[in-house]
Amino acid sequence: MSTPRLQLAHITKRYPSVVANSDVSLVVQPGETHAVLGENGAGKSTLMKVIYGSVKPDEGSVLFDGQPVHIRNPQEARALGISMVFQHFSLFDTLTVAENVWLGLDKSLTLEQVTHRITAKAREYGVDVDPSRPVHTLSVGEMQRVEIIRALLTHPKLLILDEPTSVLTPQAVERLFVVLRKLASEGCSILYISHKLHEIRELCTACTVMRAGKVTGTTDPRSESNASLSRLMIGAEPPQLEHHARTPGEVVLRVQGLVLQREDQFGVDLDGISFEVRAGEVVGIAGVSGNGQRELLFALSGEDQRAAAPMVQMDGKPVGRFGPAHRRHLGLHFVPEERLGRGAVPGLGLARNLLLTRTDAVSRSGWIDTGALRRQAAAIIQRFNVKAGGPDAAAKSLSGGNLQKFIVGREIDANPRLLIVSQPTWGVDVGASAQIRGAILALRDAGCAVLVVSEELEELFEISDRLHVMAKGRLSPSVDRARATVSQVGEWMSGLWKEEVPLGALGAPTPALPQWGREQVLEGKNDQA
């Protein structure tokens, strides 16, 4: 046997409210793709941060290439040859892609050289990255690509990937796997965290299972099934969702000829977007990130109020000019794709984070009933099985999946008339994913209209009644879930669909926008449109 690339012995990390890692030992060989599997809050991300120097362990030792090391910070980790792609991205919003990548590389390189290297690496691995774009203009999926490219440019000996495919399309995942197999064949070791069990079985040659901060076993995932891996991870198989066919009710959300000019040079123009969501149905929107989903969600949530009022309607009422608070008053609740920063304030407790979208505990005179607020947060924590240190636990202290459960639970608990969710199960384990999807279906069965924007095709096929695809700022006709195919949706992701589709085959055709409206709005004359 060759010298292990990485050896962890008896790693323990304690926090005031939880022991994140307890006596964890792990061995990774050169050229091995090693999965670390566990439900949300099992301690996987904390363990990876220990390896990368972001977190200092309370006990235990680390050996790298057979030598004892004390990694005090990520800079020392990179010097050893360790790179990491975080689940929650470590990018500066106000800097460009190239500037962000430059920060983690050899300072002898110029920004121009780094830009050329990014372009070359992106072309080599088929990853679409524009080095000149400011990070704040990127979608979550595009930020994920930047993180991956930044890690690849360091030529790592050990590459740590924390949920790297959570917001990538199936085609992009296939390309990433080609990259990872090539790296492994060249001797690079890969530590791979994912809740997608089929990915672990396809890619990884070894697997360490964690539960409640402890290692509970190791296995070769290639000899396991999804069901057996689920049992190892959560002690049971996730419950099967029951998706009952039902006749939807009246139209709750109608988007009619929505045309919006992008606000910056890197955005996407919305070009004649039209669709409906009815009470008691889930409508899914698929597509590669960066094709206008961000702009559409901003227009629907009220963060972008430039649309002509009739272009966005709720229960027949024009709301295109209304802000988020006014739309919430009408029953629209929204779960954004960015958990930290938009979905929750990192430094605030969970109870205080309720105030972002809920005013149940606020009196008419403006006084906050803190007791009621804490009880409300505690009820959501219990109902959605959120692992947290209580209602006052800071949002940033939760694992990504548990924070997602709390945010989704916060909006579902409001009993919305219309729920819009972006990437509902990003980075969430199989048990929690089933719980969130089940809650969405229960809300739909109770008569709520639900719009889900996701890059997880499996998820959309599981919970949607109808599907659209977004490509280049345009929206495809709707297709009934029972008649849709993965190949068809994949083809539509390239914008290859017919504008008019026969009724009965794929649902209602997309209404066309009058030409005068399209031209006026794209010229920026929004008020006249």
What pTM value is reported for the model?
Answer: 0.70
Give the tokens for residue 371.
């007791």
Half-sphere exposure of 507 (CA within 13 A, CB side): 19
Query: How far, in Å, CA of 225 to CA of 455, rounded?
Result: 24
Instruction: Give the model's pLDDT for residue 499.
Output: 65
Alpha helices of 63-139 — where are they, by DSSP H?
74-80, 97-103, 111-125
Query: How far, in Å, CA of 108 to CA of 297, rounded?
Result: 41
Instruction: Give the model's pLDDT for residue 281.
Output: 96
The enclosing H or E element of 450 equals strand 449-453
Query: How far, in Å, CA of 489 to CA of 102, rounded?
Result: 37
Tell me the domains of the chain and their CATH numbers: 6-234 (3.40.50.300), 251-331+451-529 (3.40.50.300)
SS3 of 395, please?
Answer: helix
Instruction: Give the model's pLDDT for residue 510.
Output: 39
Instruction: Give the model's pLDDT for residue 238.
Output: 67
Q: How many residues does the chain have?
A: 529
SS3 of 207, please?
Answer: strand
Give the tokens for residue 398.
């939760």
| Residue position matching structure tokens 């505690």 | 378
> Consecutive 10-residue runs of the chain (529 residues): their mean pLDDT?
89 88 94 91 89 93 94 91 82 90 82 91 78 86 82 90 75 80 91 89 93 90 86 73 84 96 87 96 91 94 94 96 95 91 92 91 87 94 89 89 91 95 84 87 95 90 94 94 86 77 38 36 36
